[in-house]
Structure 1
């Protein structure tokens, strides 16, 4: 009898221990910041570059990530499965261009924005959606403006265009922003492949904090220096970080990598990493057929 009782107690203890361990794992998982990347652009291979950033966050910075992609491929404008993940996200990162998502998918993005959680955007996210006149969803064409303080769509009154595809961009830290934690370890000046986006004179929006300035190299028209990265707070109180960089070659530049990793930590309310974990291996080709 004593032997059976001892065995029962041992089994019970083992079950309790297992439950405790599983509970610890659950708590540990829940305590890790959760970053959801939403990709779908016709040109810049965001569906290839951002998964490499996500992998780095998981490997070296203690985060959980999910990368969502347009289907059947980057040209699929009407479906990004899995957007319900935004309900659990601590940070949403967007790299979109001219999508035509159904309302039920937009609802997840709308819900996320109105929660006041932080958002990050890359390049063509300034014109993430492209609904036609008469469509009830057309207000989403201004997603760049109401989420990030960027111009409300491509061209138009905002004069949101870019310099020619044979140009590149010199980037420098704006002196007033030099001590911003997002710029920790970012070189005072560096060069990127992206042709410079024009956001001035009306953007970034009032209250934004410009961090980096771009100067077009070999422009196809009279060049005006323009901000290429800024922070802002949107109408729902969400912290926003926006960069008009995003050419796949940009992600090979260590200063761009540090900018992104730092900004993700800042958005999450975490201290910028004291020690850089080293350059990330990102070698993604440019070459999607459509432009801008």
Structure 2
């Protein structure tokens, strides 16, 4: 009985050694419930989050010849391609200067797609780290979402330069107002949505690697069923494509973003709340799945 009693004391983080008691600062135990989100523990490791953010950004810079310049070149080339295909050849009227319209959508989509694809490989790509040291596993996908804000900031800076050019030359008149407050709201919802979907896919890929192959195709297809290369107003009400875009949670975010910057877009508070509610549900279930897989993923990765 005495041996069993001592073992129980050790599991609770305290054991007697001679006349003194040893105390542990932390006792690592498995989660007892999938609903145990441990958000307080994630906050305690916020310094580690920033270290991972710095690591991700430095890795992107050092492993390329042009470094952060790629964050400018890629959206410019994509904008030119969209401008030629949709603006010149297809003749779609965007209501604002074409390059400015396409750049705004591309900046948002690049952030969403990069966060999604990066967080989707959390368990597989970081298995060596998970097997050596303990920290809340949710820290890694969160750090990915934060680190990609740097890339988004660079591309939004490029968009502001473009907007300044059209404003100074008088080719477009801007009417800025309180709707600019929608910009951080849109980015917040987009970050949460990409995080939730990403950790759901990362939880599935521990057993089913096919999801990583399908993800690349789904991201490419997703751009064209979102109002990124064309305005939502150009689709007829009641059409099948319009119905598909109406249930797409990215649609209200893209339209709200353009409404905030250009004063044009099919935006309502109700559609934005729909995207927010969709994000919260996806994020909640994503964290639950993440917690469930976290217990045993090392056996399957």
TM-score using structure 2 length:
0.26
Structure having the higher helix fraction is 2
TM-score using structure 1 length:
0.27
Structure number with greater Rg is 2
- Say which structure, 1 or 2, has more relative contact order (CA 8 Å, 6+ apart): 2
